[in-house]
Amino acid sequence: MSQKTWDVIVIGGGPAGSTAAATLRQAGRTVLVLEKSKFPRFHIGESLLPYNREIFDELGVWPKIQAAGFMVKRGAQFWMGDGSRHTRMDFSKGSFTEFPESLQVERAKFDDILLRHAEELGAEVREEALVTEHRVEKDRVTVKFRAKDGEEHEVQAAFLMDASGLGNFTANKENLREYYPGHKKISIFGHYSGVQMTTGEEKGDILIVRRENSWFWMIPLADDKVSVGLVLDQAQFKAFKKTPQEVFDEAVLKTRTVHERMINAQPITQGHVLTDFSYTNRALVSDRIVRVGDAAGFIDPVFSSGVMLAMTTGRNGAQVVHAAIAAGKTRTFAMKRYEWATRRHVSRFWQFIERFYTKHFAQIFFQPTNKFRLLCAINCALAGRTRMTFGAKWRLRLFFTLVWIQKYHPIAKPIRIR
Ligand SMILES: Cc1cc2nc3c(=O)[nH]c(=O)nc-3n(C[C@H](O)[C@H](O)[C@H](O)COP(=O)(O)OP(=O)(O)OC[C@H]3O[C@@H](n4cnc5c(N)ncnc54)[C@H](O)[C@@H]3O)c2cc1C
């Protein structure tokens, strides 16, 4: 290691940590990234949103991502399990959306590109370095980590950025985690060949398949490689008293939309299981600490928001840290503003997520109308836009009002969710 004191130490080299490190380097800060794995490493979360592109451009990493040849994603399709209805968000048709497409990525490769880019910009990256302790002192923050050879090290910085993902390192130590009630889910997933996905203009679309209390994702990663995952309540999973793969296979069989596409599917990898509990931390900032990505909070991945939120918070968090160091402060008003803005952005997705599992939402969402350009506004929110125009904002409000009315006085045709 070249030195023992940095401007900023970043825990975690995922999209949030790499974006934070690259942004800090662009601002001229010295940065140490401590990452417990050896990259490239497998990670779930493969479907990106159009507004990721804005940050790729800012970081200057877009040419490398483009050269990697990831699958282009032009839309998101939401299907009923029995195939009776579906709706497609075409990102190029959102009049409030600036970016017409996105990507489906193998995270091992994608995360490695981002981390190497941060390194090329001058961040010091230490892999196989497990952070075990942190201590905030008056004039610095001290971090302890264990290297691959088992040796313990102690390093210091003016600020710590926690990008430890679901490990939620600093917030767990301070007992800050709060779960969203009713959102304790489990995900069972694998990669498959021989899956029949959409073609032509719709090639590359993600398919989200709604079941009664659960859903499938189908993400085409390459011409013959599709990520397929099932998300269901943890309590429901336990009640089945079956192995994860048995639950997954049975759900495929019972879900026409998925089954028909998977008749000739062969597993490349399967049986991966992850708990998928939506949570927020009571504080995203504290003295000398800023939390970003999943270490700030995690929400159900049904709208593929994770990586976009990770990179947005990574960038925004790094900007306020840079300014705080420049001002010689341990906590600033801008850090608090970062927290508010992050909560606002997350809540925009959350209002879709918490209603997604209700019948009245499905009845409006699966029978969409573009009257008043409502679909365009939904498109724009689900594409990940942060700076919503007034036009998009009132349309979204109108959409959720219609969903609310549907609950008490049905205005859309009833549809069955099987
Ligand atoms: C089932 C499921 C499906 C998902 N699908 C999608 C999707 O389709 N699209 C999408 O955008 N998002 C999706 N997500 C969410 C997405 O995976 C995350 O939001 C995203 O990876 C967050 O990035 P991050 O950098 O915050 O964390 P991570 O990518 O998890 O990176 C955190 C890093 O920190 C390291 N680390 C942790 N603890 C320590 C420590 N103590 N010391 C050193 N290093 C440490 C880890 O090794 C890891 O590399 C999904 C999530 C789940 C659970």
> For residue range 119-128, what is the model confidence (pLDDT) as tens digits?
999 999 999 9
Give distance in angstroms: CA of 14 to centre of ligand 1. Answer: 6
pLDDT digits over 365-418, tens only?
A: 887 777 778 888 888 888 888 788 898 889 989 999 998 998 888 888 777 766
pLDDT score at 118: 98
Give distance in angstroms: CA of 300 to centre of ligand 1. Answer: 12
**Domain C-terminal end among 298, 326, 348:** 348
pLDDT score at 91: 87
Residue 79 domain flag: no
Residue 112 domain flag: yes
Q: Which two structure tokens, joined as six digits, stand for 8?
A: 């900023």
Gap between the Cα atoms of 307 and 231, Å rounded: 18
- The minimum-distance atom of ligand 1 relative to the CA of 19 is 25
Are 116 and 238 members of one domain? no
Q: Which two structure tokens, joined as six digits, stand for 3?
A: 């030195």
Give distance in angstroms: CA of 15 to centre of ligand 1. Answer: 8
Contact between 143 and 133 (Cβ < 8 Å): yes
Are 255 and 399 members of one domain? no
Are 368 and 292 members of one domain? no
- The minimum-distance atom of ligand 1 relative to the CA of 308 is 11
Residue 363 exposure: Cα atoms within 13 Å on the Cβ side: 18
Residue 413 domain flag: no
Q: Which two structure tokens, joined as six digits, stand for 19?
A: 């974006």
Q: Any residues with CB less than 8 A from the CB of 309 and at least 6 apart, and which?
A: 293, 299, 342, 345, 346, 349, 384
- Ligand 1 site residues (CB inside 6 A) read 11-17, 34-37, 43-48, 130-131, 163-167, 169, 187, 229, 274, 276, 293-295, 301, 304-308, 310
Give distance in angstroms: CA of 165 to centre of ligand 1. Answer: 5
pLDDT score at 37: 98
Q: Which residue's alpha carbon is nearest to atom 14 within ligand 1?
A: 45
pLDDT score at 129: 98
Gap between the Cα atoms of 313 and 19, Å rounded: 9
Residue 40, φ and ψ in degrees, nearest 5 = -70, 145
Residue 97 domain flag: no
Alpha carbon separation from 89 to 75, 207, 366, 379 (Å, rounded): 5, 11, 11, 6
Give distance in angstroms: CA of 81 to centre of ligand 1. Answer: 28
Are 122 and 38 members of one domain? yes
CATH number where 133 lies: 3.50.50.60
Residue 85 domain flag: no
Gap between the Cα atoms of 292 and 302, Å rounded: 20
pLDDT score at 354: 87
Are 14 and 127 members of one domain? yes
Residues in the chain predicted with pLDDT less than 70, given as ranges, are: 1-3, 417-418
Q: Which residue's alpha carbon is nearest to atom 5 within ligand 1?
A: 45
Top mutation candidate among 143, 294, 308 for ligand 1, by most atoms within 8 Å of CB: 294
Q: Any residues with CB less than 8 A from the CB of 128 and at least 6 apart, and which?
A: 35, 36, 37, 38, 147, 148
Number of other CB atoms surrounding residue 213 within 10 Å:
10
CATH number where 224 lies: 3.30.9.100
Are 287 and 329 members of one domain? yes
Are 254 and 215 members of one domain? yes
- The minimum-distance atom of ligand 1 relative to the CA of 18 is 25
**Domain C-terminal end among 278, 304, 329:** 278
Q: Which residue's alpha carbon is nearest to atom 49 within ligand 1?
A: 14
- The minimum-distance atom of ligand 1 relative to the CA of 130 is 42
Domain coverage including residue 211: 180-278
267 upstream amide cis, omega within 30 of 0: no
| Angle 228-56-122 from CA coordinates, rounded to 5° | 115
Gap between the Cα atoms of 211 and 82, Å rounded: 8
Q: How many domains does the chain have?
A: 3
Residue 231 domain flag: yes
Residue 376 domain flag: yes
Top mutation candidate among 56, 169, 307 for ligand 1, by most atoms within 8 Å of CB: 307
Top mutation candidate among 38, 42, 43 for ligand 1, by most atoms within 8 Å of CB: 43
Helix or strand holding residue 356 (H, E): helix 333-356
Gap between the Cα atoms of 308 and 304, Å rounded: 8
Gap between the Cα atoms of 170 and 176, Å rounded: 9
pLDDT digits over 342-359, tens only?
A: 999 999 899 888 888 888
Q: Any residues with CB less than 8 A from the CB of 66 and at least 6 apart, and which?
A: none
Gap between the Cα atoms of 275 and 397, Å rounded: 32
Are 299 and 263 members of one domain? no
Gap between the Cα atoms of 1 and 394, Å rounded: 52
pLDDT score at 407: 87
Gap between the Cα atoms of 322 and 328, Å rounded: 10
**Domain C-terminal end among 262, 278, 294:** 278
Are 146 and 191 members of one domain? no
Crossing angle (nearest 10°) for helices 390-408 and 374-382: 110
Contact between 111 and 127 (Cβ < 8 Å): no
Are 251 and 320 members of one domain? no
Residue 82 domain flag: no
Are 239 and 336 members of one domain? no
Specify the length of the chain in residues: 418
Are 170 and 191 members of one domain? no
- The minimum-distance atom of ligand 1 relative to the CA of 306 is 19
